[in-house]
Amino acid sequence: MGILGNWITNKTAKPFYARRIIKICKQVLHAEAKVCGLGQFHFYINGCKVEDHELDPGWTDYHKLIEYVTFDVTSYLKEGENVIGAEVGNGWFYKMDEHYTFKFPEFMPPNPNPYKPFGEELVLAVEVMITYVDGTMEVIHADEDFLVKEHPVVMSNVYGSETIDGRKNQDGWCTAGFNATSWENASIVTKEKEPTGRMIDQIQPPVKVLHSYQGEYLNNVQSKDIYDFTQNMSGILEFEVKGKVGDAIHLYPAEKLTKNGDVDQMAKGWVNLDSCITYIIGQDDVWETCRMKFTYFAGRYVAVEKPENCEMRNLTAHAISSAYETDGTFTCDDKRYEQIYSLVEKAVEANMVSVHTDCPTIERFAWQEPNHLMAPSIMYMKNGRKLWEKFLLDMRTAQHTEQDYFYDFAGNRVYPGDGLMPSQCPCYIPNVLPVPGMGSFYDIIGWGSTCILGTYWHYMFYGDKKIIEDNYDAGMRYLEHLKTKVTEKGFINHGLGDWGNPKNELARENIETAFLYADAVTLAKFAKILEKLEDKKKLEAYAEQVKKNYNEKLLVWNAEKGYWCYRTWDHADELFMTQAVEALPLYWGLVPEDKEVDVVKAFYDALETEGAFVSGEIGLPYVIQTARKYQMNNLICQFILRKEHPSYYAFVLDGETTLGEYWETNPRSHCHDMMGHIVEWYYNGIAGIQAEEPGFRKIKICPYLPESIHEFKCIYRSVAGEISVQVKEEQDGMVLQVKVPKGVEYQIDTTNLESSREITAEKIKIYQVIVR
């Protein structure tokens, strides 16, 4: 028995209904329900869905952590007979594999640690606590008085396929007058079969419908009707259908079309994503409504295959995402910048459920690296406070102990060691063994460092020291694990380096060892905040040791160019530089003070030589932010507006509505936010809103006006209040209007505005407003 009482089941691993009648004889003052159905559930009272949530509860490692959802149900109850009910589906708890499901690609060795269900049957726990006006209380738990029935969703695949049999619909199933004589009593889950995870109230905002898009008919191709929703998304399909009992209508979603106009479910260089939503008609010649229940589709287009005598109408895609507030907006008169912003924002929305997925189509995994690399971009746009608390809790939950093990190909146990932070948290299909020639996809410093650097960004944006208190020990354990991975030469190089680099210039030793330094110096800052002075001293000494070795081996004199620069370690026979190799030491403060000017020159040359951002997702945020720091904003503008890849605007010209996975036309996934770091620059570069103290209690405003923009407005709603920056170019100068919250210390710097138009400060009219 868990904290919500008994778990109940219908003794199968397939979706089911559950209902129970309760009688209320007194006036209700307050009522609260705590509900958990694994893998996903919807909760109802008296025929009404309670709240507009989708995909409750959040995805976790159910062996270790389970979220329940608390609802205020006071307004749903009435005196007399009431019916409480739930629909329970599979999700990750017991994954169904019909239609597309993820498989590791052929270049990886077979995985000896495949997905395993978290239980033998789907389960439900319910606690309803009613407080009456007279002061008495009543508590109702799930038990054998609940009745259960097979659900019309007969197959629900976590990767977006669902089969719904309309013949099994139970109309009115959660109302008092419903005839439930064919239903059976629920079974109590035995102690040995109960989920084992620690139960907590759901931390993150629920997943909800953000926008709804009507399908636009395009054409009929090979006996299929093709529809366009105009936006790539994660979504829930809903439509009405009329036909003959037993006839089936099939919907095939996709991110793109083939040349002949059919949907193209082939992921470039990967696998056919044969996702399918099927509805089997339940009644003759009656309009029926079909809506996905326990999973979500991904894509922009849908092909509809149906019998000739079958009609369909009102095809709608409900785009879903975590229901976090929008904290930032950016508008300007050059629509290219707005289109780029939208690419990133829509990709973020599509990948933000209860975890931050890499993509909604192929993997749907909670890869961790964007949760620090993309953190500032997302946190400027959206309120990520509670989401990041969930992400970091997932990491602490997944962190290895000495006892954790997996299996190698011979069936022997492999103990990765205490402190390791998996690259995915939660990790449902662990691929723990290194891939020959590529490195580890499980133990990667750029991913695991989120437990430290993601914590840092949360603290900087929201100013709450508790996030450091919660994650400090996990960060310290992770650093100790990293120390065991340092090579004889003093480097970290077992991961993926600058993953996604268009020229495959991964520079593992340079990139990964820079993160080792970043982790140590960031933990030292945390130790100071927490007044752990002995830790601080040790961490600073270790960071200095890493820095000394880094510079002794990688910082070299470039005789041809006449400056100091960083060489790429894995090019032993030549002095080879990349943008990320020069940017990371500058960003993290690894460069000796007397060499900084030289390394900035080397970085500038690396940018100018390529004429584009030639960086993967790991180096890109540091490349962009280093270019901003050293007044190279003009290059950033040129690079993001290029018409050919690598470029953000090239995705717009390709017709994309979300950001692609890699710098290329027709990438494997058309909806990845992992390269969306440019949004951070919109806020701290163009608008120039920069936090100088945690929680934006002290800020600097240093705007920049790109050549093709004549007017912009940027708003960021910080925890300290709303900050607004608006710039408008006039015939003989500019107007700068700044709004800051009362109590926030701020400084306005017009240096970048002056240089952007070669004008003097006197030509800039400044209006300052203190918002109370």
Residues of the chain with CATH 2.60.120.260: 8-204, 209-322
Predicted pLDDT of residue 108: 80
Residues 695, 718 contacting (CB under 8 angstroms):
yes
Contacts of 116 (CB under 8 A, 6+ apart): none
What string of DSSP letters covers 308-359?
TT-EEEEEEEEEEEE-PPB-EEEEES-HHHHHHHHHHHHHHHHHBSSSB-S-
Per-residue pLDDT at 438: 83
pLDDT cut 70: percent of the chain above it: 100
pTM: 0.97
Segments of 637-753 assigned E as strands: 689-691, 698-701, 711-718, 721-730, 733-741, 745-748
Task: Name the nearest CA neighbour of 690 among 704, 677, 679, 701.
Answer: 701
- pLDDT reported for residue 436: 79
Query: Pairing state of beta strands 162-165 and 277-280?
Result: parallel
- Predicted confidence at residue 1, as pLDDT, reads 52
CA dist., res. 323 & res. 293, Å (int): 18
What does DSSP say about strands 733-741 and 413-414: parallel, antiparallel, or unpaired? unpaired
Taking a C-beta distance cutoff of 8 angstroms, is the pair 207, 217 a contact? no
Contact 475, 452 (CB under 8 A): yes
Report the chain's C-alpha Rg in angstroms: 28
Cis amide leading into 39 (omega within 30): yes
CB atoms within 10 A of CB 559: 8
Instruction: Spell out the SS3 assignment of 149-161.
Output: EECCEEEECCCCC
Position 2 scores a pLDDT of: 59
Strands 733-741 and 721-730: antiparallel
Tokens matching residue 40: 């996903």
77 Cβ contact partners less than 8 Å away, ≥ 6 residues apart: 24, 28, 31, 45, 46, 130
- Tokens 């004008």 belong to which residue? 759
Q: Token pair of 451, please?
A: 């437990």
Out of 2.30.140.10, 2.60.120.260, 3.40.50.300, 2.30.40.10, the CATH code matching 8-204 is 2.60.120.260
Alpha-carbon dihedral sign for residues 485, 488, 494, 495: positive
Q: Which residues pair with 44 in a beta bridge?
A: 49, 85
Closest CA to 509 of 451, 423, 556, 445: 445
Q: How far apart are the C-alpha atoms of 492 and 495, rounded to whole Å?
A: 8
The total number of residues written for the chain in this structure: 772
Structure tokens at 574: 């030549």
Q: What is the largest CA-CA distance in the chain?
A: 90
How many whole angstroms separate alpha carbon 546 and alpha carbon 490? 7
Which fold does the domain 209-322 belong to in CATH? Jelly Rolls (2.60.120)
Handedness of CA 523, 524, 525, 529 (dihedral sign): positive
Instruction: Enumerate residue ranges in the chain where pLDDT < 50.
Output: none
Superfamily of 688-772 according to CATH? Maltose phosphorylase, domain 3 (2.60.420.10)
